[in-house]
Amino acid sequence: MLREVLFAPFSDFEFMRRALAAVIALSLGSGPIGVFLMLRRMSLVGDAMAHAILPGAAIGFLLSGLNLFAMTTGGLIAGFAVALLSGLVSRSTGLKEDASLATFYLASLAIGVTIVSVKGTNIDLLHVLFGNILAMDDPTLLMVAFNATLTLVVLAVIYRPLVVESVDPLFLRTVSRAGAPAHLIFLALIVVNLVNGFQALGTLLAVGLMILPAGIARFWSRDVTPMICIAVASAILSGYIGLVLSFQTRIPSGPAIILVASLLYLGSVLCGRVGGVLPQLFPGRHLEA
């Protein structure tokens, strides 16, 4: 009985195997990005960028259908346009950068929804907003895997300046000029991975596979490398259980994955050994001098 519930969907149906492979690829790319977003206190920036890419990704979707290259190109253009415009406004006026970014991403979200509503159908709108990982085809899966691989390779190159800047940005500026290029490259990786999750989870949920696993990892480790490993593992686990839940019930696959990740996050809040509620209420014995 347990085998039929947990393993039969993937052994019997090819589309479920594709979906699981996509979840693993997305987790490998989004997990480390989410950890650095959290360490750099940019979690809300990731959410804003997820909405900012919508117009470009929607235009690419309407022009080329489920063509991840077209959606990635459009999303990158829209995401960088919003980032540059919000930065320009914050430097030219007295408006704070977070307020400027919030204004532009809300306008971008409204423009994207309008484009899909006017030019597409209700099904297109639902697909853009919430995705459909069960409809993943081979070319899209290969593109997702390529973007995840590219993310891991680039992160390995800029890993040290990212870690140092997350801990002590002033020290990095005094000893190296790698901080600014690493930050720009990191922003590009955020957009790439958000668009990567566009087909699977939609623009409204793609950021969930970044932020929630990173939040889970934060309650189980203080070191960056273990946090990245825990984030990736929890994202894969959320994807696997979410796909099984979606297959056995009528819950859409994208929301099911994010709901499972949310439950894991709540469990970590309660039981996590680093700042969890229960460990703080009932601390273990400590060695006494």
* DSSP per-residue letters across 80-148: HHHHHHHHHHHHHSS--HHHHHHHHHHHHHHHHHHHHHHHS-HHHHHHHHH--GGG--HHHHHHHHHHH
Tell me, yes or no, whether 285 lies in a domain. no
What pTM does this model have?
0.83
Tell me, yes or no, whether 289 lies in a domain. no
Tell me, yes or no, whether 279 lies in a domain. no
Tell me, yes or no, whether 173 lies in a domain. yes
Q: Are the C-beta atoms of residues 198 and 156 closer than 8 Å to each other?
A: no
Query: Can you give the residue range of the structural domain that contains 164?
Result: 2-272
**What's the rounded Cα separation, in Å, for the pair 29 and 149?**
7
pLDDT tens, the chain, 289 aa long:
677 777 888 888 888 898 899 999 999 999 999 999 888 877 777 777 777 777 887 777 777 766 666 777 787 788 778 777 776 776 677 666 667 777 777 787 788 778 777 766 555 556 666 667 777 778 878 888 898 999 999 999 998 888 888 777 777 777 777 777 887 788 888 878 887 777 667 766 778 888 899 999 999 998 899 999 999 999 999 999 999 998 888 888 888 898 999 999 999 999 988 888 988 888 766 554 4
**What's the rounded Cα separation, in Å, for the pair 274 and 271?**
9
Tell me, yes or no, whether 277 lies in a domain. no
**What's the rounded Cα separation, in Å, for the pair 177 and 180?**
7
Tokens in use for 14? 């090819």
CATH code, 168: 1.10.3470.10
Nearest residue to 253 (alpha-carbon basis) of 5, 8, 22, 51: 22
Tell me, yes or no, whether 281 lies in a domain. no
Provide the domain count of the chain: 1
Tell me, yes or no, whether 283 lies in a domain. no
Tell me, yes or no, whether 280 lies in a domain. no
